[in-house]
Structure 1
Amino acid sequence: MPNHRLRDAILRNGMTPLVVAEKIGVDSKTVERWITQDRTPYPRHRHAIAALVREDESYLWPNAVTPETASRIGQNEVVQLYSRRSSVPYDLWQRLINRAERRIDILAYAGLFLVEQDPKLMDTLRAKAAAGVKVTVFLGDPDKPAIERRSIEEGMPGVMAAKIRQVQQYYDRLKGSGAEVRYHETTLYNSIYRFDDEMLVNMHVLGLPAPHAPVMHLRKLSGGDLFGTYVDTLDRVRAASVLQWDDEVAA
């Protein structure tokens, strides 16, 4: 059975089997066999191809990496663990945002701290979107029960919805930029901030405000499964979220 994922990834990146073969130093017929006969390349070639086509190795060859190996690699995807979000250096947030070249995903209920610590954030995000970075901001829907439940759990009824409406005024400045702002009503177990192949995951703890909860700094590794776990969460929320405006109308 052909490896359609590999074929599509190669074509999507404007390459041919011959080009791939030249770049990684193998015969073009070998690449053809990887595609048409679903042969599994050696690890060094899998890593090289995954980097070329910007896909996860586990996506291109689902059976090539055992769960045990993926778990071990996943442990190395943890760059740093912070005991609370307030301990994450400001310059780390700034560096991750500024270096992003492909995508920025912000998944939170409000994430008001981001605009409070960086008054120029909206200008930066507009510039990123204009440069072709896919910028998506997921905010909690202030009218949904999940938001008020979160406020009650933190002992501050009504506060979370007020924060969302406050931060929405900032993100409204992204209209016409190509960036997306979407509402969700997910029960968030984590707030997730993705910048290309790096990510900050703010773990939520019952009754504890997010600034006082732990944060993991993750960096994607080929064959690992931890980073991908949180990407799956982003994809699920994206599928269930509602776009807040149509840029074609707003522009």
Structure 2
Amino acid sequence: MAASRMTAGCLARTVGVSTKTAERWLSNPARVPHPRTRDGVEAALGVSADVLWPKSVRSTVKVGADREIVSAYPYRSACPRTVWAALIHSATRNITFAGYTNYFVWQEHPRLAARLTAKVAAGCQVRFLVGDPASEVTRRREEVEGVPLTVSTRIRITLAALQEAGERSGIQARFSDEHIALSVFAFDDQMLVTPHLSSLLGHESPMLHLRRLEDDGLYDRFAAHVAALWENGRPAWGAPEAADALS
């Protein structure tokens, strides 16, 4: 907490518990929070649970490639908002939202554009990789989902939010159609990954919370995937598609 410049009250607010609860963790090392809360504390402090609460994880120590898996959720919506908030808050070098629409982040995190703009001002790279709202890939996905809030509409909401933040905010945005079935959200050395199942919407698909611990591990494999998509993507700022999406 001292290294992260966090008081008990600040940590409590970040992970969604009372200040008294956080103070109990300090006064009683044997007191272990709920697994979901542990995820939030890990993300906020950048320290793994086996360091914070060694007894609680001693029986489940991972030594293989899966040790990079912090948590697994059967649905993206099951991942607490506090985990997202803590990851965004703690990132200092890179934040990448590589979801096809990235629609839900604006709904679940008020004032996100202002927070991300402040991150950029502090030296953090912030990138959005979204689908092309006018592409054939997007049109076909809309037929598969068959919901009123279409894929192109959800993309337009993200583009509108980025447009409101302004190009001068320093937030980068590119179009890509190649991540329609896989969303990757990266925050420095941690990421949230969602493989999209069949016709299910994003919040209905499973999610993995990963932390980078080794070369060419799970984190690096997904990071390389996003890097390739970004390299081949088309800048959204000033593109006709972006202007058309907002009209």
What is the TM-score of this pair, normalised by structure 1? 0.66
Query: What residue number does 2:67 align with?
Result: 76
1:130 aligns with 2:118: no
What secondary structure is seen at the aligned counterpart in 2 of 1:76?
helix
Query: What residue number does 2:40 align with?
Result: none
Query: What residue number does 1:23 align with?
Result: none
Query: What residue number does 1:195 align with?
Result: 187
Relative distance call for 1:91 and 1:158 in structure 2 (3 A) is: closer
- 1:140-151, aligned counterparts within 5 Å? 140-151=131-142
Alignment partner of 2:130 out of 139, 142, 155: 139
Counterparts of 1:167 and 1:245, CA distance in 2:
13
CA contact (8 A) 2:131 2:180 kept: no
When the two structures are aligned, how many residues end up with a matched partner?
176
1:171 aligns with 2:168: no
- 1:186-225, aligned counterparts within 5 Å? 186-223=178-215, 225=217
Offset, 1:222: 2.3
1:119 aligns with 2:110: yes
Counterparts of 1:182 and 1:142, CA distance in 2:
12
Offset, 1:129: 0.6
Query: What residue number does 2:27 align with?
Result: none
What secondary structure is seen at the aligned counterpart in 2 of 1:194?
strand
Query: What residue number does 2:95 align with?
Result: 104
Specify every segment of 5 or more residues in structure 2 that has no aligned partner in the other structure, as ranges.
1-62, 239-247
Alignment partner of 2:221 out of 226, 229, 240: 229
Counterparts of 1:224 and 1:139, CA distance in 2:
26
Relative distance call for 1:224 and 1:186 in structure 2 (3 A) is: closer
> Post-superposition, which runs of at least 4 consecutive aligned residues in structure 1 deviate over 3 A?
none
Offset, 1:187: 4.3
The higher radius of gyration belongs to 1
Aligned partner letter, 2:231: A
Query: What residue number does 1:49 align with?
Result: none
